[in-house]
């Protein structure tokens, strides 16, 4: 039993890592008042870019970097449409997803079936003694570096959001851009910055899938991970600390799909679990009392312009 638990947890963390990257990014985006439904598109473009660059250069880190850049650039399309042009953010985000999924299929066609050579993979670290500990070793000291980077990002991003002036500005812009503007905060600048951060992290999340998790390119390989990220952002109630719990929980659900299938539990049913949990959380969080404390950013999805009163 213990063995099963350790193994499940060990599997849940890498499965949840791409979700964690995407969710941390989307939390910043939404905290600044922008809704980016293009996460799926940015992730899959990150996956195909990361894979192709890692394959051609033989360096996984260059792949991750390229994926980050592509994710960031794609997010700027959304930023331009929704911040500068004040377009409809839902439409723009959905368009970005469709664009990314379609383009990645085209670009990745020649990589299908090509495995990543060993030196282009990111493998688990080995720390003498620590990695060999029973239970603790596999649970804490055998993952690849990106897992540790994503975990490290959680407190850093939480700290910035709650303990720095930049963080207050971000949250203010998402709550009440008019007030933030009146207090001298650069509303457009903050929103562009956050949307870009979201794109970068979504790209990295995608690269994790194609370079580490399933080191290969499969068309449509994100398989809805971007949508789970959107749900997770709500599930985490826009907090980086809750995001890590949610990401590993949903990662665990993904792993369980395969483990529980022999027992007759439908994987399709388990697939819906993240969304059902999200709806439950949303129902609890929209109660009047809770909303004031931990509700969605008030200005989420609303374009801001100074002239309109």
Partner 1 sequence: MEDAPAVKMIGIVKRFPGVVANDHVDFEAKAGEIHALLGENGAGKTTLMNILYGIYRPDEGEIYIRGQKAHIHSPKDAIALGIGMVHQHFHLIPTHTVAENIILGMPGNFFFPLERVRDEIEQLSDRYGLHVDPDAYVWQLSAGEQQRVEIVKALYRNAQILILDEPTTMLTPGEVQELFEVLKCMADEGKTIIFITHKLEEVMEISDRVTVLRRGRVVGSTNTADTSVTELARMMVGEQEWGEIKLPPREKGRVVLEVRNLQALNDKGVMALQGISFTIREGEILGIAGVAGNGQKELVEVITGLRKASSGQVLLDGEDITNCPPGEIIQKGVAHVPEERINMGLAPNMSVLDNLILKHHRREPFSTNLLLNYRYAKQFADERIREFEIITPSKYTPAKLLSGGNIQRLILARETAGHPRLIVAAHPTYGLDVRATDYIRRQLIEQRNRGVAILLISEDLEEIMCMSDRIAVMFEGKIMGIMDAHEADINTIGLMMAGVRPER
Q: Which is nearer to partner 1, 110 or 293 (CB)?
A: 293
Rounded to the nearest whole angstrom, what is the least distance from the CB of residue 192 to partner 1 in the complex?
Answer: 18
**Interface ranges with partner 1 (CB under 8 A):** 163-169, 171-172, 175-176, 178-180, 182-185, 292-293, 295, 298
Give the CA distances from residue 215 to residues 14, 118, 121, 199, in Å, rounded to whole numbers and listed in that order. Answer: 13, 10, 7, 22
Q: Which is nearer to partner 1, 48 or 180 (CB)?
A: 180
Give the CA distances from residue 254 to residues 138, 168, 269, in Å, rounded to whole numbers and listed in that order. Answer: 19, 35, 11
Q: Which is nearer to partner 1, 168 or 302 (CB)?
A: 168
Question: Could you say which DSSP state residue 117 is in?
Answer: P
For 24, how many CA atoms within 13 A lie in the half-sphere containing its CB?
28
Are 185 and 169 within 8 A, CB to CB? yes
Least Cα distance to 301 among 53, 94, 119 occurs for 94
CB atoms < 10 A from the CB of 160, how many? 15
Rounded to the nearest whole angstrom, what is the least distance from the CB of residue 58 to partner 1 in the complex?
Answer: 39
3-state DSSP call for residue 107? helix
Q: Which is nearer to partner 1, 85 or 183 (CB)?
A: 183
Residue 75 in tokens: 């997010």
Q: Which is nearer to partner 1, 124 or 167 (CB)?
A: 167
Q: Which is nearer to partner 1, 110 or 165 (CB)?
A: 165
Long-range contacts of 269-276, Cβ-Cβ distance < 8 Å, separation of 24 or more: 274/228, 274/231, 274/232, 274/235, 274/250, 275/228, 275/231
Least Cα distance to 266 among 275, 253, 257 occurs for 257
Rounded to the nearest whole angstrom, what is the least distance from the CB of residue 61 to partner 1 in the complex?
Answer: 28
3-state DSSP call for residue 71? helix
Distance, in Å, from the CA atom of 138 to the CA atom of 140, rounded to the nearest integer, reads: 6
Q: Which is nearer to partner 1, 159 or 258 (CB)?
A: 159
Rounded to the nearest whole angstrom, what is the least distance from the CB of residue 285 to partner 1 in the complex?
Answer: 13
């Amino acid at each position: 039993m213990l063995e099963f638990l350790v193994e499940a947890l060990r599997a849940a963390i890498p499965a949840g890592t791409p979700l964690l990257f995407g969710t941390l990014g989307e939390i910043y985006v939404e905290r600044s008042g922008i809704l980016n439904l293009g996460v799926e598109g940015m992730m899959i473009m990150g996956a195909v870019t990361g894979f192709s660059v890692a394959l051609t250069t033989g360096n996984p880190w260059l792949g991750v970097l390229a994926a980050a850049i592509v994710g960031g650039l794609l997010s700027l399309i959304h930023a331009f449409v929704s911040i500068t042009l004040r377009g409809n953010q839902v439409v723009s985000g959905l368009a970005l997803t469709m664009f990314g999924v379609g383009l990645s299929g085209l670009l990745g066609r020649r990589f299908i079936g090509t495995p990543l050579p060993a030196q282009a993979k990111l493998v688990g670290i080995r720390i003498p003694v620590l990695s060999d500990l029973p239970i603790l070793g596999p649970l804490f000291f055998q993952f690849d570096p990106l897992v540790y980077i994503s975990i490290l990002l959680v407190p850093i991003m939480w700290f910035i959001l709650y303990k720095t002036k930049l963080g207050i500005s971000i949250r203010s812009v998402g709550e009440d851009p008019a007030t933030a503007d009146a207090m001298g905060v650069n509303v457009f600048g903050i929103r562009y910055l956050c949307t870009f951060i979201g794109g970068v992290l979504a790209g990295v999340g995608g690269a994790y899938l194609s370079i580490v998790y399933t080191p290969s390119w499969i068309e449509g390989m994100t398989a809805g991970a971007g949508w789970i990220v959107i749900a997770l952002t709500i599930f985490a109630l826009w907090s980086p600390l809750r995001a890590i719990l949610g990401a590993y929980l949903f990662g665990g659900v993904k792993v369980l799909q395969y483990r529980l299938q022999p027992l007759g539990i439908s994987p399709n049913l388990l697939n819906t679990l993240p969304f059902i949990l999200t709806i439950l959380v949303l129902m609890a969080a929209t109660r009047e009392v809770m909303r004031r404390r931990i509700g969605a950013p008030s200005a989420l999805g609303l374009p801001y312009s100074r002239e309109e009163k």
